[in-house]
Amino acid sequence: MKKRIFGNWKMNGSLASNAALLDALAQGVQAGACDVAVCAPAPYLAQLQAVLAGSAIGIGAQDLSAHTEGAYTGEVSGAMLREFGVRYVLVGHSERRQYHAESDELVARKAQAALACGITPVVCVGETLAQREAGETEAVVRRQLAAVVQVNGHCLSEIVLAYEPVWAIGTGKTATPAQAQAVHAVLRAQLLAATTAAGRIPVLYGGSMNASNASELLSQMDIDGGLVGGASLKAADFLRIVACAQ
Ligand code: PEP
């Protein structure tokens, strides 16, 4: 399967700094062996649409509403994202689950809302440090994925899944390749049990991926790419990770 490297800028950037980063990425990423996308804050999507037109880099958003339209102040619908050329949207990122109390069910409905608009949801699952230490990793990620399977069974093969151990996000503590592979194998088995098209679903790893650890992580059997936070904000670092996936 073609590897995917997706950047998550989180709540970072400015028109000026984005312009420099996007120029460098557009020049450094060629269409080919690996699919590359950046997930930017909503106000910058128009900038991405303009700068990335004709480039090999896909446009991603970081969240969307589970609703289609109406009295939901502050929310952004999938249809709105589509107007800015958005192809991917993160759903269930741990920072949304943690700081915005997003439940498994809401994440599943957000994935459904994205799919209904022709946007690929990048469904994030992962355990906290306390859950890992309590031996609950497998149960937690299986429960998070099960909610998405239940609501989206018929078009499950259109999602991208990302395993992001919460204790590895933004901490500099990466899961070892063996730790990551073990969880990816669990998720792969769950996908295989849910759909005959499971082989089409990429399962990305995210959590302090950088240019030094990317190669080994990406060489694991069930790791189909990376979701990259901090290291996606520096063109040279991100491009080195992309190179590891080619
Ligand atoms: C993320 O935000 O999805 C992420 C993986 O962040 P970082 O790479 O900074 O750990």
Q: For ligand 1, atom 8, which residue shows the shortest CA distance?
A: 229
Given 95, 102, 127, 164, the catalytic residue: 164
The per-residue pLDDT for range 1-12, each reduced to its tens digit, is 999 999 999 999
Each residue's pLDDT tens digit, 40-77: 999 999 999 999 999 999 999 999 999 999 999 999 99
The token pair that represents 169 in the structure block: 């996000």
Q: Is 184 among the residues known to form the active site?
A: no
**Residue 232 CB–ligand 1 contact under 6 Å:** no
Distances (CA, A) of 145 to 127, 131, 162, 218: 12, 16, 10, 22
Alpha carbon of 63 to those of 80, 152, 168, 179, 203: distances in Å?
12, 17, 21, 27, 19
pLDDT at 32: 84
Length of the chain: 246
Ligand 1 mean position to 225 CA, how many Å?
Answer: 13
Ligand 1 contact, 228 CB (< 6 A): yes
Q: Tell me, what's the pLDDT at 71? A: 98
93 tagged catalytic: yes
- Which phi and psi angles does 61 have, rounded to 5°? -110, 170
- Whole-number Å distance, alpha carbon 140 to ligand 1 midpoint, is 19
State the Cα–Cα distance between residues 66 and 60, nearest whole angstrom.
17
* Mean pLDDT of all residues in 178-206: 97
Pocket test for ligand 1, best of 228, 237, 240 (most atoms within 8 A of CB): 228
Distance 95 CA to ligand 1 centre (A): 10
Kindly state the average pLDDT of the residues 189-197.
Answer: 96
- Tens of pLDDT, residue by residue over 115-150, are 999 999 999 999 999 999 999 999 999 999 999 999
Residue type, 99: Y
Which pTM does this prediction carry? 0.97
83 C-alpha vs ligand 1 centroid, how far in Å?
26
pLDDT at site 173: 87
Instruction: Give pLDDT, residue 204.
Output: 98
Q: Which residues of 5-38 are buried (b: 16+ CB within 10 A; e: fewer)?
A: bbbbbbeebeeeebeebbeebbebbeeeebbbbb
- Which run of H or of E encompasses 87? strand 86-91
Res. 208: pLDDT tops 90? yes
Would you say the CB of residue 206 lies under 6 angstroms from ligand 1? yes
Residue whose C-alpha is closest to residue 197's, from 152, 163, 228, 138: 152
- pLDDT for the residue 183: 98
Look at residue 230 and give its three-state secondary structure. Answer: helix
Domains of the chain: 3-244 (3.20.20.70)
Atom 1, ligand 1: which residue's CA is nearest?
A: 229
pLDDT at 33 over 80: no
What is the average pLDDT score of the chain?
97
| Cα 133 from Cα 105, distance rounded (Å) | 25
Residue predicted with more confidence, 146 or 31: 146
The rounded distance, in Å, linking the Cα atoms of 120 and 114 is: 6
Q: How confident is the model at residue 157, as a pLDDT?
A: 96
* pLDDT, position 48: 98
With a 6 A CB cut-off, is 7 part of the ligand 1 pocket?
no
Nearest protein CA to atom 7 of ligand 1, as residue: 229
Decide: 226 in ligand 1 pocket, CB within 6 A: no
pLDDT in tens, 73-112: 999 999 999 999 999 999 999 999 999 999 999 999 999 9
